[in-house]
Structure 1
Amino acid sequence: MVSSNSEKITNLLWSIPQAGGIYLYAILDGARNEGIYPAILQSGCEYECLYRGELDSGLAEAAPYLVKLEKDKLFSNWLIDEGWGDSWGVFIHTAATFRDLKRHLRKFLMVYDTDTKPMYFRYYDPRVLRTYLPTCNSEELATVFGPVTSYLMEDKNSNMLLHFSINANKLETHQHSLT
């Protein structure tokens, strides 16, 4: 889906990082589109799979990836143009290093149900994260955010950018219209 609001989305995503010391990352879900994995490989951006260890090619193509984005880089423009509205992933503002952010995000890949059965938690899907965050109490928010300043993503209709952050131990949600 090619976004007609690419310039507005780009400006909103980079409005905070331009202040300095804050970086923009994306967690991308390779399972959402077969073009994501090859594009990451050719991006020239710093990236790493959030799954640990060596993966077979099928899993590597469908895995979640942390990617450090750079403004006006071809990959960043492609991601916004093609991925916005198709739930390819979520964006993150943080002052954390790539390594520290990756370590933090890996903690949430596996969760356990009431019978202690392990389950994958696809929090990097905007449909999941935008539903999950408002249900969190202050302790859970502190855990999920950790070094993350804000999570940003499309809304369910892709006509708003949702910006989640913590203020006074409570979730703060801003909706930025793209129309």
Structure 2
Amino acid sequence: MTSEPAEPLARWFGRHLQAEAGPCFALVDCARHPQLHALLNHPSVRAESLFDGVEALRLERYGAWIVPFPLQGELARVWFGNAGQGWREAWGWLFQSHASLETLMRHFKKFLKVELPQGGQAYWRFYDPRVICQVLPVMRQEQHEQFVGRLLRRIYCVDPALNTFYEVWPQDSVMGNLLGERPLDIRAQYLPAVA
């Protein structure tokens, strides 16, 4: 996994970050590239698996990880390098939150398995941007209240098939706060071409 200079795409993305929304994090799907697990074990990267116990060992190289994502960090350098390899190859998605890494881990762990209508459970790959980019716009109010809640202030994902960058955030309004509702705003645009 080589990386050419990531500056143009990193600067472009940095203009989307909202200071009041908190630090940036990544949900990473290690199954998307054979070297992602090694990158997440880099000494300067503080990655935590969303899986516990035996599942964490079994899915270590293929599971979901949550990682602080400073724009000057090693993960961002590789993510934005090679013309945005992280987004173009659907490595995961980014978000901003004021919550601690531990709080975010507890929050996301609740969504790893879902009940199937015919009975039983299945993994929900919400950490795959190809999934979350399709699901967020069609979530019912109560679903996005559970998933986004008050923890996630901004979500950034790319649908590589459409080369589309999505920016999602909960609306804050007096009436919405009184009713306990916060609809999602979604802005979509093409991911810029990077030489």
Report the alpha carbon displacement of residue 7 of structure 1 after superposing the two structures with TM: 3.8
Residue 152 of structure 1 aligns to a residue in which SS?
Answer: strand
CA contact (8 A) 2:159 2:165 kept: yes
CA distance in 1, matches of 2:93, 2:152: 12
Deviates more, 1:133-142 or 1:8-17: 8-17
Q: Report how far residue 74 of structure 1 moved.
A: 2.6
Q: 1:57 to 1:118 in 2, by over 3 A?
A: closer
- The match for 1:150 is 154
Which of 153, 167, 185 does residue 172 from structure 1 map onto? 185
**SS state at 1:62 partner:** coil
How has the CA–CA distance of structure 1 residues 84 and 6 changed in structure 2, closer, same or farther, with 3 Å as cutoff? farther
**Residue 67 (structure 1) aligned with residue 80 (structure 2):** no
Q: 2:117 aligns to what?
A: 114
1:125 equivalent in structure 2:
128
The 3 A distance-change label for structure 1 pair 50 and 64 is: same
Deviation of 1:2 after TM superposition, in Å, equals 8.6
Aligned sequence identity (%): 22
What TM-score do the two structures reach when normalised by structure 2? 0.80
Secondary structure (helix, strand or coil) at the match of 1:80 reads: helix
The structural deviation recorded for 1:57 is 5.5
1:78 and 2:91 matched: no
Q: Secondary structure at the match of 1:87?
A: coil
Deviation at 1:155, TM superposition (A): 2.5
The residue type equivalent to 2:96 in the other structure is: H
Q: Secondary structure at the match of 2:53?
A: coil
Q: What is the match of residue 45 of structure 1?
A: 45
8 Å CA contact 1:13, 1:24 repeated in 2: no
Structure 2 unaligned regions, length at least 5: 177-181
Alpha-carbon distance, 1:14 to partner? 3.1
For 1:41 and 1:4, locate their aligned partners in 2 and report how far apart those are by CA, in whole Å.
20
Question: Is the 8 Å Cα contact of residues 47 and 68 (structure 2) preserved in structure 1?
Answer: yes
User: Which amino acid is the alignment partner of residue 60 of structure 2?
Assistant: A
Alpha carbons of structure 1 residues 60 and 116: separation in structure 2 relative to 1, 3 Å: same
Alpha-carbon distance, 1:19 to partner: 1.8
Assess, with a 3 A threshold, how the Cα gap between structure 1 residues 76 and 156 changes in structure 2: closer, same or farther.
closer
Q: 1:18 to 1:141 in 2, by over 3 A?
A: closer
CA distance in 1, matches of 2:69, 2:17: 11
Aligned CA distance change for structure 1 residues 29 and 43 (closer, same or farther; 3 Å) = farther
* C-alpha deviation, 1:58, in angstroms: 5.4
Contact (CA 8 Å) 2:6, 2:80: kept in 1 or not? yes
